[in-house]
Amino acid sequence: MYSAKMPKGFLWGGAVAAHQLEGAWNEDGKGMSVADVMTVGTATKPREITNGIIPGKNYPNHDAIDFYHHYKEDIKLMAEMGFKAFRTSIAWTRIFPNGDDKKPNEAGLKFYDNLFDTCHQYGIEPIITLSHFEIPFHLVKKYGGFTNRKLIDYFVRFATVCFKRYKNKVKYWITFNEIDNQSAYNNDFLMATNSGILFKKGMTDKEKEAAMYQAGHYELVASALAVKIGHKINPNFQIGCMINYSPVRPLTPSSDDVLLADKFEQRRDWFSDVHVFGKYPNAVEAYIERNGYRPDITDEDRIVLQEGTVDYVAFSYYQTTTVSSKKVKPDDLTDLSKAVTKNPTLKRSDWGWEIDPEGLRIALNQLTDRYHKPLFIVENGLGAYDKVEADGSIHDDYRIDYLKKHISEMEKAVELDGVNLMGYLPWGPIDLVSAGTGQMDKRYGFIYVDKNDAGKGTLKRSRKDSFYWYKKVIASNGKKLD
């Protein structure tokens, strides 16, 4: 429905993921997840994924910011900012420690009961992701992650237990976080986090890409089954998909650059097409066939996909992607990273992420035109170094500036373009462990947490300048941005 103003009931808040803040990685029966075997990296040094836990290495997710024991204090701070919604995930390994267990772990279920009750106490709506980069490590080792059809059953069992248990506590669900990130199929880190795949040494790019299509398909079937079951358990559930959306800009107006941008899009954003339309786009079927990949896709799977389409499209927005055909022609596009080039008109964060607020308005328009579904911004933000002053204050005007510009573009999309938008949940309202680098010092928060990359600190929480700023933004329903 068109709304000339930011709608009443707009879900302002923030988003996190269990493994990036909870800590307590082996408490109360929790099993080991893929995030628990990832070491700390830097802006230039990737995280290592070790085969089990090696003593002496720094695994930042083990303790994170200990939200597991601080959640009451942390939700209270979010309520103080006026949060209407809080997105987090349910750590799969708290509920099914190995993933293939027959019975769920009651202590894990209880933790989320307490967390959701705390949210509701402050009128905060929980927005819950089921799979956010924290697949049980046992499923990785024993089954090869989502390359194995059995994973569908394990995911669906996990989803069903959560839907039933939190039937009256959670209305908004997301099945898989950033499912489209694995289109970077030769990125070992993204494949391990998204699908629980550990590539063997010496595998070719083609073998990796084939594995990605297989895993992606099983995840889409698992998601569709979960949507179907969820709607039966509670017809009021709103169950969405979630992608990392990054509008593609051609570097020049040449036909090669424009077509390359289209091809890039087709190869990245088909996951949400399947989630929304219940079938594969022709471009993907053609690409798979042309490359001789033969993923196991049954007729029954195709029916399930049609029956389990999503209610809304959630996405993260951090930056746009600019492509150039200098290195790769549109018909030769295999490795997507070869097409990506720096956008000369944009500034970058300290981690090299391009800053492009107008890209958010473009994203909202493109996704609306494509899907005609309610949209939900469930991540956006600036990872930055913060400096604590002698008096304890933190003047993060760079973060305020980033968010202000993005919110302003978002409001143009709603008020001028008529985009149907459910809410805005910037990433990491409280400092947490970076997914990409494992660092603590890549900070997104309104709330500062005293802990550094070496794992040292008191864990004390404090309010940054952006805390007071965001509080005013929410109180004015997005009108007071200065």
As annotated, the active-site residues are: 379
Instruction: Identify which of residues 193 and 309 has a Cβ nearer to ligand P53 in the complex.
Output: 193
Separation between Cα atoms, residue 65 and residue 461, nearest integer Å = 10
CB of 232 to ligand P53, least distance (A): 28
Separation between Cα atoms, residue 116 and residue 128, nearest integer Å = 10
CB of 303 to ligand P53, least distance (A): 30
Separation between Cα atoms, residue 131 and residue 459, nearest integer Å = 27
CB of 435 to ligand P53, least distance (A): 4
Instruction: Identify which of residues 133 and 163 has a Cβ nearer to ligand P53 in the complex.
Output: 133
Task: Go through the chain and tell me how many residues it has.
Answer: 482
Please enumerate in sequence order all residues whose Cβ is within 8 A of that of 256, keeping only pairs 6 or more positions apart, or say none. 325, 329, 330
Instruction: Identify which of residues 21 and 119 has a Cβ nearer to ligand P53 in the complex.
Output: 21
Instruction: Identify which of residues 297 and 422 has a Cβ nearer to ligand P53 in the complex.
Output: 422
Task: For residue 314, give Cα distances in angstroms to 27, 178, 249, 288.
Answer: 31, 9, 21, 26
Does residue 375 contact residue 422 with C-beta atoms inside 8 Å?
Answer: yes
Amino acid of residue 130: L
347 phi and psi angles, rounded to 5 deg: -90, 160
CB of 297 to ligand P53, least distance (A): 27
CB of 246 to ligand P53, least distance (A): 8
Instruction: Identify which of residues 61 and 434 has a Cβ nearer to ligand P53 in the complex.
Output: 434
Instruction: Identify which of residues 304 and 323 has a Cβ nearer to ligand P53 in the complex.
Output: 323
Token digits of residue 137: 């490590």
Residue closest to ligand P53 when measured from CB atoms: 436
Residues that bind ligand P53 (CB under 6 A): 17, 20, 133, 177-178, 181, 244, 316, 318, 379, 383, 427, 434-437, 442
CB of 146 to ligand P53, least distance (A): 17
Separation between Cα atoms, residue 59 and residue 187, nearest integer Å = 20
Separation between Cα atoms, residue 333 and residue 256, nearest integer Å = 12
Radius of gyration for the alpha carbons in the chain, expressed in angstroms and rounded? 21
Burial class (CB in 10 A: 0-12, 13-18, 19+), 302: middle
